[in-house]
Structure 1
C-alpha cells in the first residue's frame, strides 16, 4: 500500500492524477487543450528564436572571440526545427515521443551552445561555467509548464540538470595534469577554475525549480481535469434546462437546496400529441423516438422563438413557461402566439412526420393559462428538480385535457385571453364557450378556442 506522498510522486511521473472515471468526451477536451498548448509553445519558441536572432544580428560583437562561432548555425538549425514542430502541431496531435525529442533538442541546443564558448574564445572548458546563458534553461522549463503536464517539466529539468553536470565534469576532467578545482571564491570568479559548491548551487536551483513547478502543475492538472469535467457537465446541463435556469444553477453562490424559489407572473403552455400511446404501441421503439425527436425539435424552436422556455418533456407532452425563468411584459401574449404557431407548424410538417414513420396524421392539443407561479427547486437532499408550481400550471394541464372533450386544438380561459389581449395579442378568437365545466377545476370556466 503506497503512502499519499508515494502516490503523488507516481502521479507526477505519469503526468497527473489518474483519469479513471472521466468520460471520453472530457478526455477528448483535455487532449484538445493540450494540443492548443503545444501550438502556443511552438509559437513562443519561434518568437524567441526570432528575437534572439534579431538581437544577435544588431548587437555589437563581444571582443576576444577568435575561434569558430557556432551561434548563427545553432540559431538557424533551431529555427528550422521550431518551424517544423509548429507545422506538425497543426497537422496532428504530437505524440509523446516527439515531445521528448523536442525537449532533447532544446537542451542539446543550449548545452551545445554553452560548450562551444570555450572553443570560440580559445579558453579552458572551465570558461563556459561562468556564462549567463545557463539562465535560458528556465525559459525552456517554463515553456513546458504551459502544457499543464508535470512529466514534461520534470523531464526538461532533469535533462537540463544532467546536461549541466556533464559540462561541469568535462571541465573538471579536461585537464587532469593541471586540476582546475578551487575553494577560493575570488579565484573562481577571476580565473578559469571550478568551485564545486557554486556548480552544485546552480544544479540545486535547476532541480528545485523543476520540482516546484512539477508539483504545482500536478495540482493545476488536477484542477484542470475537474474544471473540464464540470465544464462538460455544465454544457450538458444547458441541454436539459433553459439557458437561464442552467446559468442560475451553475452560477449559484451557494449550493441549491429544496424549497428555494420566487413568485413570478407567468403563462404556462401545455402541448400533447393526440392518440400517441395507442399509435406508438404498434410501432418499433426507434420509430417512436424518431417521430418524437422530429416533433420536439419543431416545438422547442417555436417556443423559443416566442420567448418561452421548455420546463420539461412529459413523454409526448411538453410543459413550457413564459415569464417564469426571466420576467416578461408580454408573457400571456407570447404563450398564445407560441401555442397557435405550434398547431400550425405541426399541420405544415406532416410530411416530415410520415418520413419519420408516423402512420397517421400527427395532431396536437395545446392550452395556455396565466397567473402567479412559484419558480424554484423541489425534491430531496440528493435529488433536486427545477420547476414551476401554481394554479396556472394545474389549470393549463386541465385545459389541455379539455381539448379532447371540446374537440379543439388550442384552449385558454377568458382571464388569460383578456390578459394576452392587453399585452398585444391581436389574433381573433375562433370561438368563445362560457361556463364550461372542466375536469379537475372546481368552478366552470369561460373557455376561448384560439386556434382551429
Structure 2
C-alpha cells in the first residue's frame, strides 16, 4: 500500500516505464515550469522588498542598528538570478531544487524574524505578521513543476521554520513570551496563544497535503496527455497533415461509411521503371530511392494545397480540394504538377551526373466530383477519395506510355484550371480524340510534359 502511494505521489504513475521520447517530453515540460518558477521568485523578491522597505517605524520609536534584511534580500535576488540562468540552460538538478526551497523558506522566516527588531517589539510580535501568508505562495509555486515531492518538502520546511520561530519566542530570548489562553489578549497585545500557532501549522500541513494530492493527480493526467500527444505526433506522420488536423478537430468520433461530396482535382505520380529496379538493387538501396523521390515530390504537392491520399509503392495519389474544399483545386493541381515535373527533371540530371541511371516519372491530373470520407472496418480507418475522377487520373497516367509523354491532363481539367487562374509556364500541346484504355469515349488531352 505504501509503495503504491509513494509511486503515485512521486513517480507520476510510472513515468519510469514510459518510452524515452515520452520521458524527454515530460522533462521539457518541467524545464519550462522551472523557468516560470524562477521568474515568479524574482517577482516575489521585488514585491517583498517593496512592501518591507515601505513600512514605517512607529512615531518616537528608535530602531536598533540591525539591517540584515537588506543583505538577505540582495543575496536571495542573486540566488534567484543564478537559478533562473540554470533553468534556461537546462542545468537544474533535483538537489538544487531542494536547496531553492530551503532558500525560499529561509528568506521568509528571516524576514518574519526581523520584524521584532524593526519595530522594537518582543519576539511574539512577529508571530502575528501577515508575511506568513507568503508561505502558501511558496508551497503553491512548487506545484508548477507537477511533482508532489517538492510540494511536500516545501510544506515540511515551512513547518520546521515556523516551529523554530515559535520555540525562539517561547524561550524568552527575544523578550517575554507572555503566554495566554485569552484570544482577545492574544489579538490585542504581545501575547502568545499556542493553540493559534498550532492552528497555523495545521493550515500549512493541510494545504500541503491537498496540493500534493492535486499535483499527483495532475501529474498522472500530464503523463497521459504527454504520452498521447507524443503518440499522436508520431501517428500523424502516417497521415496527411490536413487529414490529421481533421481527425484532431472532429467534434465526434469518426466512423467508417461517412463521406462528403467534393469537387476536386486528382494528381497521380508514378516512378517509371521502379519495379524492375527494385528487383536489381538491395532492399536498402530501393528504400533510399523511394525516400529521395518522395522527399522531393511530396513537399511540392503540399506546398500547392494538395493532400497525399496514399502511397501505392512508388505511386503517389494526391487530392486537391478534398480535405478542405477549394475553389482553385484544378489550378492548384496543375501548378503542383509543373513543380513536380521540374523537380523530377532536375533529379534525373543529378543522378545522371553522378553516374547513376536516370529515373523518369509519369504524371496525370484529372478533376471531377468525388466522395471524400472514411473507409475501413471500424477498427482501422482510412480517409480517401472515391469516384470516377480518381480512376480516370490513374488511366490517364498509364496513357502517358501511349503518347510517349511524362505528364498529361484532360482538356476539361485544363480549361477549368485556366478559369481558376492557372497560367502555364510554356505552350502545352493539345491532342484530340485520344483513345484511353478503360475509358469508353475519346478524350481530348493536354500534354504537360513531353
Cα shift at 1:87: 2.1
RMSD: 2.7
CA spacing shift, 1:150–1:325, aligned 2, 3 Å? same
Match of 1:46 in 2: 42
CA deviation string 1:342-393 (max 9, x = no partner):
22321122244468x8831110001112111111111122211111111111
Distance in 2 of aligned mates of 1:22 and 1:337: 45
Distance in 1 of aligned mates of 2:216 and 2:78: 32
Q: Secondary structure at the match of 1:182?
A: coil
Give the TM-score of the pair, scaled to structure 2.
0.89
Q: Does 1:348 align with 2:346?
A: yes
**Range moving further from structure 2, 224-233 or 312-321:** 224-233
Give the TM-score of the pair, scaled to structure 1.
0.89
Match of 2:431 in 1: 432
CA spacing shift, 1:32–1:354, aligned 2, 3 Å? farther
Distance in 1 of aligned mates of 2:72 and 2:110: 9
Q: Does 1:404 align with 2:398?
A: no
CA deviation string 1:238-259 (max 9, x = no partner):
5333333222110111111111
CA deviation string 1:22-54 (max 9, x = no partner):
443332222222212212211221122123323
Match of 1:108 in 2: 106
1:79-94 superposed matches below 5 A? 79-94=77-92
Q: Is the 8 A contact 1:70 1:113 kept in 2?
A: no
Match of 1:391 in 2: 388
Give the length in aligned residue pairs: 444
Cα shift at 1:293: 2.2
Match of 1:376 in 2: 373
Q: Is the 8 A contact 1:234 1:246 kept in 2?
A: no
Query: Structure 2, unaligned stretches of length 5 or more?
Result: none
**Range moving further from structure 2, 423-432 or 147-156:** 423-432
Match of 2:362 in 1: 365
**Range moving further from structure 2, 401-410 or 426-435:** 426-435
Distance in 2 of aligned mates of 1:127 and 1:337: 80
Match of 1:152 in 2: 150
CA spacing shift, 1:289–1:351, aligned 2, 3 Å? farther
Cα shift at 1:194: 2.9
Distance in 1 of aligned mates of 2:181 and 2:120: 24
Correspondence for 2:133 among 121, 132, 135? 135
Query: Structure 1, unaligned stretches of length 5 or more?
Result: none
Cα shift at 1:264: 0.3
Q: Is the 8 A contact 1:183 1:195 kept in 2?
A: yes
Distance in 2 of aligned mates of 1:61 and 1:290: 79
1:258-407 superposed matches below 5 A? 258-353=256-351, 359-407=356-404
Match of 2:20 in 1: 24
Distance in 1 of aligned mates of 2:322 and 2:81: 55
Divergent runs of 4+, >6 A: none
Q: Secondary structure at the match of 2:280?
A: coil
Q: Secondary structure at the match of 1:382?
A: coil
